[in-house]
Structure 1
């Protein structure tokens, strides 16, 4: 009887080892196929042509946060693709300079509208609606956003900054899109690019409100994209890592952190291609270094690991930022 039980135990153990081996082999196979798909997306698979959305036919591209960084670069590259351009941002003088330069370089029309999205001014949105109702809008770039000044625990963050993030990153996003959608629906075509963030994918401590606003953008983009797909309108949440810009406070580029020009070029050349964000509906991540990091995050350690890593990173950034403020305050006092 004892021998029988021992043999049975060995058989069960062997079956368990076999099952684990099968699961392990399947996991490795799935990960390998996922990585090969990523390479196919990044280097072979073509994106949708901008002509599908009205390039060269007199259609307009509307860009928010258009005076600097990624938004400004979208304006130039879409103008080069022969879209007319409506620039929306806070500083009228910057917008006018960009408008004049775009018209001179690319022989397209351009308009500007200066507004501060933090105000949530009803009159601004009414004025924009009047302007947009007269345009054939083919592309909307929802780029405008604001962030915490430095990494800050939620309980210590000012009510003003919390309000501004919600007003700009969520309310402004919804209101602008609601104004423009009727123009796209009337022509049965359109492209909506929402400039998202890795912090919307991984909850980021000390940037909790900004992180949540970008998570909102990701979820909303997926829901809206499903609603509009049959209408000929493409919605993409672009899952962006760091790019050299005033908002990121990064001035030097690297393999992982590009200038806006190559980043935007990659986005516009791969419309409809998920890249590193293939597991999130209606999201994309096609700048190669960002896509590889995105793939590593989603295919290696647990979400808890990445949240803890983000916590340590933001705590370190906060300490350095506070020390910098102290030095600046001491220098100002010495003067």
Structure 2
């Protein structure tokens, strides 16, 4: 009996050590990206001439547009905020010399994709960033207490990723190269109460991305889900940046170093560490009424101070 227990504990110890080693290897992608092969700026241009970015008028989409232009790409910006995109386009053209095309489209609508397709004809699209997204409410809330904009949110967060991918994937498959970045959220990596429909929509984006990568990696196409925690954007009320909450620019610059490091990435070291910690917390704790009520009170208190 003692020998059996000893063997069990030895096996358990080996298993824990192996898990620790796997975690260390995972973190090394963020700590020492050069060891994993950081992509030079020229890598992105080898995918094709143009990068298409949805939700490009603000936040993460704006940052991807600027950073990909800095790395040699011509940019197609798509959003409903024409004036904002025009300002960003002028900045990109003046500072990088790259070309910019603006397409005005509201991703809560379903009739926009024919218009987008017509404007993309003839372009060699090497990169697609499915970034556009929305929250039902800036503050966390229970499902019935949040605005009833379910259909708009599903069109914006879910349908847009599917439709835009279908528009560009055919030519990527024909050229046997391309990069698709689907901006999900850490809220989609587990069932996140108080952000129920947003969490579910981002879980779809992550699953969609990983399944597509399994189908098309043999064709030379990279498809990756990007699942950040806190990024300061207008959607998150431009929160103050700190060790966890990154500026859009800093997050995008770091996340582009990891486009070949798997079918899903947190995008930066701080978010990878936080994600690892969150995985150790049982869902029963996160889903408990006490934790939810406490979280709502903290948010309510913070809102009163602002």
State the TM-score, normalized to the length of structure 2.
0.90
Kindly indicate whether the alpha-carbon contact (under 8 Å) linking 1:192 and 1:236 is maintained by their aligned counterparts in 2.
Answer: yes
Note if 1:45 corresponds to 2:51: no
What is the rounded CA distance, in whole Å, between the counterparts of 2:136 and 2:299 in structure 1? 11
Counterpart among 122, 130, 144 of residue 155 in structure 1: 144
User: After superposition, what is the alpha-carbon deviation per residue over 1:33-92, rounded to whole angstroms, capped at 9, x for unaligned?
Assistant: 02320232111322445544435x861000001111111010011001110000011111
Kindly indicate whether the alpha-carbon contact (under 8 Å) linking 2:27 and 2:272 is maintained by their aligned counterparts in 1.
Answer: no
What is the rounded CA distance, in whole Å, between the counterparts of 2:203 and 2:76 in structure 1? 27
What is the rounded CA distance, in whole Å, between the counterparts of 1:33 and 1:166 in structure 2? 39
Q: Secondary structure at the match of 1:135?
A: coil
What is the rounded CA distance, in whole Å, between the counterparts of 1:306 and 1:25 in structure 2? 28
What is the rounded CA distance, in whole Å, between the counterparts of 1:47 and 1:304 in structure 2? 38
Relative to structure 1, the CA distance from residue 29 to residue 138 in structure 2 (aligned partners, 3 Å threshold; closer, same or farther) is: same
Kindly indicate whether the alpha-carbon contact (under 8 Å) linking 2:231 and 2:246 is maintained by their aligned counterparts in 1.
Answer: yes
Provide the residue aligned with 1:66 in structure 2.
Answer: 56
Counterpart among 276, 295, 298 of residue 295 in structure 1: 276
Could you tell me how far 1:206 is from its partner in structure 2?
A: 1.5
Note if 1:284 corresponds to 2:283: no
What is the rounded CA distance, in whole Å, between the counterparts of 1:201 and 1:305 in structure 2? 16
Provide the residue aligned with 1:32 in structure 2.
Answer: 20
Counterpart among 98, 104, 107 of residue 114 in structure 1: 104
- Compare 137-146 and 183-192 and name the one that shifted more: 183-192
Counterpart among 154, 172, 176 of residue 164 in structure 2: 176
**Alignment of structure 1 residues 106-255 onto 2, 5 Å:** 106-120=96-110, 122=111, 124-149=112-137, 150-159=139-148, 161-255=149-243
- Compare 103-112 and 247-256 and name the one that shifted more: 247-256
What is the rounded CA distance, in whole Å, between the counterparts of 2:40 and 2:293 in structure 1? 42
Relative to structure 1, the CA distance from residue 29 to residue 263 in structure 2 (aligned partners, 3 Å threshold; closer, same or farther) is: same
Q: Secondary structure at the match of 1:229?
A: helix
What is the rounded CA distance, in whole Å, between the counterparts of 2:8 and 2:272 in structure 1? 30
Kindly indicate whether the alpha-carbon contact (under 8 Å) linking 1:133 and 1:183 is maintained by their aligned counterparts in 2.
Answer: no
User: After superposition, what is the alpha-carbon deviation per residue over 1:125-177, rounded to whole angstroms, capped at 9, x for unaligned?
Assistant: 11110121210000000110000212222233333x21221110011111111
Larger Rg: 1
Relative to structure 1, the CA distance from residue 310 to residue 148 in structure 2 (aligned partners, 3 Å threshold; closer, same or farther) is: farther
- Give the ranges of 4+ consecutive aligned residues of structure 1 lying more than 4 Å apart after TM superposition: none
Ranges in structure 2 where 5+ consecutive residues have no aligned partner: none
Relative to structure 1, the CA distance from residue 23 to residue 58 in structure 2 (aligned partners, 3 Å threshold; closer, same or farther) is: closer
Relative to structure 1, the CA distance from residue 15 to residue 258 in structure 2 (aligned partners, 3 Å threshold; closer, same or farther) is: same
The alignment of Structure 1 onto Structure 2 pairs a total of residues equal to 301
Q: Secondary structure at the match of 2:108?
A: helix
RMSD: 2.3
What is the rounded CA distance, in whole Å, between the counterparts of 1:294 and 1:318 in structure 2? 21
What is the rounded CA distance, in whole Å, between the counterparts of 2:291 and 2:124 in structure 1? 43
Provide the residue aligned with 1:3 in structure 2.
Answer: none
Kindly indicate whether the alpha-carbon contact (under 8 Å) linking 1:59 and 1:138 is maintained by their aligned counterparts in 2.
Answer: yes
Could you tell me how far 1:319 is from its partner in structure 2?
A: 3.6
Kindly indicate whether the alpha-carbon contact (under 8 Å) linking 1:53 and 1:189 is maintained by their aligned counterparts in 2.
Answer: no
Ranges in structure 1 where 5+ consecutive residues have no aligned partner: 1-11, 275-281, 329-335
